[in-house]
């Protein structure tokens, strides 16, 4: 993999990405051990599993895979002393458009992930764990295989790890190239050798009825890496990073129309959208102005630079008050982005400048979702392709007056009515693009292009 090696920006706080692009750093276990690797595992074994779960609860760590669910709470769903085996699965399917953080951990620092996983498995008493890696990452899978073999040679995996009495095996499971395999229950079905049809919840919450209907924890790569650092500094100390309910650091993947796209790590909420674009990413391309930002991967609702956002912020006197602000002033953290009507999602920040045609942009997203819908449930299966066909037609000069409203209502008929959150993932872009850039969509009805108005496929 070719990557332009760049030194971290001074405003970054690199914990998870400490070793990414680090001069002289290699991804083998020797280098990792030399740098103090697997010390946190040794420390973890001096603690009781329940203590680790408590530290993770205390840390306030929220899932980095997209939904932002508190990790410690999720772990707490596993009842100690159950009769069924517990599984832990690391979700390395990283398929959300605009997201490219987990792959760097896997490629450059696989032992950080493995150490985080061993500690997590010990905490929830999982003796079998898997890394589910997307099919398009063959190199990553090889690196992980090698790293796991190294860890095993060094006694960090296998029976009676470091004399703790704890046994664990970790295996790499390769996906076959489907976005829906990132959805945790689709992922589990896929591991069971079936089509990755997400399961209905209730009853199939993974923590109760997961892999082979046994209690299962599914966590994102970045989430599991954080566990190692929570053990290192303690949950309370970890919680001091970021802000309340938005603790720790966050990996951000910036793509689109900025001068310096790339990956960065900040304390959660430490920078605003404007600071990220202008100070960190070198600003917009010459002569261009900011039009819109999708802040958390392609599923997140688009935010327009023209809009004003009302957010509750902490006043100098310590009280909370509603403040109106522009897009660039919104801090990048879970709660602020949610309050502004979008989400922090997977950390994929997609920046669009004034040259972007929003119908084109939405059609691009719609093509992705129409292709990736698993097809199991009616609204998403039929709606995702319908939306794509409409935006495709609008784009090629076949737009009609009612398209904009039809688009919105199709999306409304998907969101909240499907088996899995893919329904929202595919509806939110349409809902938000149409709401925020209505004139551009309405304009296509009068724009004549080269299309004949119909879309095939």
Partner 1 sequence: MSAPTELLNVQIDGVWYQFKKGTRVIEACAQAGKFIPHYCYHPKLSSPGNCRMCLIEMGMPKTGPDRKPELGADGKPVISWIPRPQISCAQDITEGMGVRTDSSLVRECRHGVMEFLLINHPLDCPICDQAGECHLQEYSVEYGTAGSRFLEEKVKKPKRVELGPRVTLDDERCILCSRCIRFMKEIAHDDVLGFASRGSHTYLTAHPGKRLDSNYSLNTVDICPVGALTSTDFRFKMRVWFLKETKSICTSCATGCNTIVGSRENVIYRQTPRENDAVNSAWMCDYGRLNIHYVNSPDRLKFPQVREAQGLANVSWKTALAKAGEELKQFQRNSVAVVASAKMTNEELWLTKKLIDSLGTVYHDVVPRAGQADQLLMSADRNPNTLGAQLFGITSEYPGSKLREMTEKIASGEIRAVVALGEDLTQIGLAESDLKKLTALIVVGILPNETTRNASVLLPACAFSEKRGTMINIKGRLQRLNHATLAPGEARDDWEIIRDLLQQLTGSNGIYLIDDVFKEIAETIPEMTGLSFGRIGDHGVQLVEESEDAQPVAMTV
Ligand X SMILES: Cc1cc2nc3c(=O)[nH]c(=O)nc-3n(C[C@H](O)[C@H](O)[C@H](O)COP(=O)(O)O)c2cc1C
Q: In this structure, is the dihedral angle defined by the CA atoms of residues 351, 354, 355 and 359, taken in order, positive or negative?
A: positive
Of the candidate spans 21-29, 116-124, 174-182, 380-388, the one that interacts with ligand X by CB under 6 A turns out to be 174-182
Which of 422, 428, 433, 437 is in the footprint of ligand SF4 by CB under 6 A?
422
**How many beta carbons lie within 10 A of that of residue 136, not counting itself?**
15
Residue 209: CB minimum distance to ligand SF4, A: 17
220 contributes a contact to ligand X by CB under 6 A = yes
Residue 40, contacted partner among ligand SF4, partner 1, ligand X, none, CB below 5-8 A by kind: none
Q: Which is nearer to ligand X, 64 or 228 (CB)?
A: 64
Nearer to partner 1, 27 or 418 (CB): 418
Part in contact with ligand SF4 (CB under 6 A); list of ranges 9-17, 156-164, 386-394, 413-421: 413-421
Tell me how far apart the alpha carbons of residues 441 and 439 are, in angstroms, rounded to a whole number: 5
User: For 138, what's the count of Cα atoms within 13 Å in the CB-facing half-sphere?
Assistant: 1
Closest C-alpha among 183, 117, 177 to residue 147: 117
Question: Binding of ligand SF4 at residue 188 (CB under 6 A)?
Answer: no
**Contact window for ligand SF4 (CB under 6 A) among 16-24, 67-75, 358-366, 414-422:** 414-422
Q: How far apart are CA 265 and CA 14, in angstroms?
A: 6
Rounded to whole angstroms, the Cα distance separating 33 from 80 reads 32
Please state the closest distance from residue 375 (CB atom) to ligand X, in A.
13
Which residue's CB is nearer to ligand SF4, number 175 or number 198? Answer: 198
Where in 398-457 is the site for ligand X (CB under 6 A)? 420-422, 425
How many residues at the interface with ligand SF4, by CB under 6 A? Answer: 14
CA distances to 36, 95, 265 from 162, in Å:
16, 35, 32
**Which listed residue (34, 50, 69, 139) binds ligand X by CB under 6 A?**
69
Gap between the Cα atoms of 19 and 31, Å rounded: 10
End-to-end distance of the chain based on CA atoms, in angstroms? 34
Number of residues that bind ligand X (CB under 6 A): 24
DSSP 266-289: EETTSSBHHHIIIIIS--BSTT--
Q: What whole-number distance in Å separates Cα of residue 308 and Cα of residue 426?
A: 25
Q: How far is the CB of 122 from partner 1 (least distance, A)?
A: 33
Interaction between residue 246 and ligand X (CB under 6 A):
no
Alpha helices in 216-283 (DSSP H): 221-233, 235-239, 273-275
Give the interface with ligand SF4 as residue ranges (CB under 6 A): 180, 198, 373-377, 380-381, 418-420, 422-423
Give the interface with ligand X as residue ranges (CB under 6 A): 63-67, 69, 91, 93-96, 179-180, 182-184, 218-220, 223, 420-422, 425
């Amino acid at each position: 993999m070719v990557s332009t090696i760049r030194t971290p920006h001074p405003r970054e706080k690199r914990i998870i990405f400490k070793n990414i692009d680090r001069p002289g750093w290699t991804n083998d276990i020797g280098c990792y051990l030399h740098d103090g690797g697997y010390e946190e595992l040794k420390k973890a074994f001096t603690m009781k599993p329940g203590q680790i779960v408590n530290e993770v609860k205390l840390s306030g760590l929220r899932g980095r895979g997209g939904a932002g669910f508190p990790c410690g709470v999720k772990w707490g769903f596993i009842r100690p002393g159950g009769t069924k085996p517990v599984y832990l699965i690391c979700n390395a399917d990283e398929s959300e458009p605009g997201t490219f953080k987990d792959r760097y951990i896997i490629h450059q620092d696989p032992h950080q992930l493995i150490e985080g996983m061993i500690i997590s498995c010990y905490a929830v008493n999982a003796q079998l764990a898997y890394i589910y890696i997307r099919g398009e990452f063959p190199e990553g899978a090889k690196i992980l295989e090698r790293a796991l073999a190294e860890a095993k040679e060094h006694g960090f995996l296998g029976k009676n790890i470091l004399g703790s009495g704890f046994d664990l095996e970790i295996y790499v499971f390769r996906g076959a190239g489907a976005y829906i395999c990132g959805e945790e229950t689709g992922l589990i079905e896929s591991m069971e050798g079936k089509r990755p049809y997400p399961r209905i919840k209730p009853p199939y919450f993974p923590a109760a009825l997961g892999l082979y209907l046994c209690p299962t924890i599914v966590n994102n790569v970045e989430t599991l890496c954080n566990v190692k650092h929570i053990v290192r500094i303690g949950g309370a100390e970890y919680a001091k990073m970021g802000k309340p309910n938005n603790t720790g650091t966050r990996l951000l993947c910036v793509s689109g129309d900025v001068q310096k796209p790339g990956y960065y790590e900040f304390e959660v909420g430490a920078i605003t959208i404007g600071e990220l674009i202008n100070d960190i990413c070198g600003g917009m391309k010459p002569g261009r102005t900011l039009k819109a930002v999708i802040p958390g991967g392609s599923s997140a609702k688009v935010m327009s630079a023209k809009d004003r956002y009302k957010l509750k912020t902490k006043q100098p006197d310590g009280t909370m008050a509603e403040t109106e602000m522009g897009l660039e002033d919104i801090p990048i953290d879970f709660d602020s982005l949610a309050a502004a009507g979008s989400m922090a999602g997977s950390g994929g920040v997609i920046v669009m400048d004034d040259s972007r045609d929003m119908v084109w942009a939405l059609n691009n997203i719609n093509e992705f979702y129409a292709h990736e819908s698993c097809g199991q449930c009616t609204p998403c299966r039929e709606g995702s392709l319908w939306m794509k066909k409409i935006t495709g037609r609008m784009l090629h000069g076949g737009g009609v007056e009612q398209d904009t409203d039809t688009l919105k209502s199709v999306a409304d008929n998907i969101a909240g009515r499907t088996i899995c959150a893919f329904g929202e993932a595919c509806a939110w872009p349409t809902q938000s693009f149409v709401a925020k850039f209505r004139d551009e969509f309405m304009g296509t009805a009068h724009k004549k292009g080269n299309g004949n108005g119909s879309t095939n496929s």
